[in-house]
Amino acid sequence: CFFKTLFSLPFTSSFPLLLSLRRGQASVSYAQSLLGAPETRLTTLSNGLRIASEETNQATCTVGLWIGCGSRYESEKNNGAGFFLEHMAFKGTKKHPQSALEQAVESMGAHLSAYTSREHTAYYMKTLAKDLPKAVELLAEVVMSSSLSEADIEQQRSVVLRELEEVQGSLQDVCLDLLHATAFQGTPLGHSVLGPSANARTLTRNDLVEYINSHYKAPRMVLATAGGVNHDDLVALAKQQFSGVSFEYEGDAVPVPSLCRFTGSEIRMRDDEMPLAHIAIAVEGAGVASPDIVPLMVANSIIGSYDITFGGGKHLSSRLARLAAELNLCHSFQAFHSSYSDTGLLGIYFVTDKHKIEDMMHWTCFCCNIDLTKLTASIHTRTHSNFKTCFFFLSSGTTPVCDDIGRHILNYGRRIPLAEWDARIEAVTPRIVRDVCSKYIYDKCPAVSAVGPIEQLPDYNRMRSAMYWLRF
């Protein structure tokens, strides 16, 4: 996935340091490039809306509106409303019908997109820097003045239902949604982003309007930009287009996400006709603002990932990846740490043959026990280098940078500079990795989801016992 991202990004926006070397500035060091990163400027309007920008000397820019709402803020009745609204956003506004909106975007050669997650919603546009005023105007219309006509709602209802059917065919998405459902059962964080098909069939225009009125408030919005933009000009545009966004709630009923408790538990969906087993196992992780977040990211990088199409075999940096290649343990695996505002999931997802499930479980525990407790200096150095390469590279290009800015302002109230991230990563020692992993993994009850031919998946109590024997 990383290398796919690596080669899909434009050379000019993804490798600014290499370009500077080509221009004869070979004396620029790694530390200097971090300290020389553009400053992220932040301004807050009187209604609470925040404007954040990173200005670079580019002809293009990405501008978007990041909103602090998602499926975690939904109830059983309206779960999926945010995702439904994402589909409705580009179907016309009160000022522009769909055809006029599409023509306006097309005439700029821009790309308009959106996404919804469990805690965030984003609407953003990549365009030429000279078209920033028009882009901000269209974004304001799309988010705050969507027409939500009954005819469009019925048309998009069928589109959403088709997408739900397609997602059911993505077993990774199904498995990880089931993992959230069991790990955070009885809490809003257990909701899927797309919502159930029953809700997609019954959501009304009033439900969507109520969702907008409840969550699309100025203090929960960030207008973020990256690229060839001027911050002062952006602030002036924001005042013009977003000063009227409300900051008040009816009866002061400010939606606050409820505490999402973690429950050690499991969901099994056995189907012996499926060719491969899809299994995810996780313990409760750290929230985005926790000081443990970086050590857990480093630990996650040590376990790494693997796909049967990878080259390298026994020379792969991850011990578990080498074993997977040598012993044919699985088709793929991915260590992950999904962080939310106050909690997270730290675990591994793998796809394997039904006869290799127990072997994969055994060697996963073995590698966690060895690599996270007896971290050698060479592995530690290599992991730091690999982690920083992936981390910093995925912060290149105006769109990922803009997304980074929007999420950081919502999560931390500021954009954390690359130099600060680098210092945090360098401060992680083998002892810190061991202590933090002991805190989150040792003797904890895991959450498990499994789909497919999973007859050989060990009993839950056996998996629970394995966590006890992970000595840090």
Given a contact cutoff of 8 angstroms between Cβ atoms, the answer to whether 120 and 70 are in contact is yes
- Using CB atoms within 10 A of its CB, is residue 113 exposed (0-12), middle (13-18) or buried (19+)? middle
Say how many CA atoms lie within 13 Å of 35 toward its Cβ: 5
The CA distance from 132 to 129, in Å, is 5
The CA distance from 350 to 331, in Å, is 8
Q: Which of 54, 55, 86, 266 is catalytic?
A: 86
Phi, psi (rounded to 5 degrees) for 253: -85, 70
The string of DSSP codes covering 154-187 is HHHHHHHHHHHHHHHT-HHHHHHHHHHHHHTTTS
CA-based torsion, 149, 151, 152, 154: positive or negative = positive
Residues 6+ apart with CB under 8 A from 136: 63, 223, 234, 237, 238, 241
The CA distance from 262 to 185, in Å, is 8
Return the percent helix, strand and coil in the chain, to nearest 5. 50, 20, 35
The CA distance from 212 to 220, in Å, is 12
The CA distance from 117 to 31, in Å, is 34
Q: Is 86 a catalytic residue?
A: yes
Side by side, the strands of the sheet bearing 305-307 are 265-270, 447-452, 277-285, 344-352, 332-339, 305-307
The CA distance from 81 to 424, in Å, is 38
Structure tokens given for 244? 């009227």
Residue indicated by tokens 């012993």: 327
Phi, psi (rounded to 5 degrees) for 53: -150, 150
> What are the angstrom distances between the C-alpha of 185 and each of 178, 259, 342, 347, 360?
10, 12, 16, 17, 27
Host H or E run for residue 369: helix 357-371
User: Which residues are known catalytic residues?
Assistant: 86
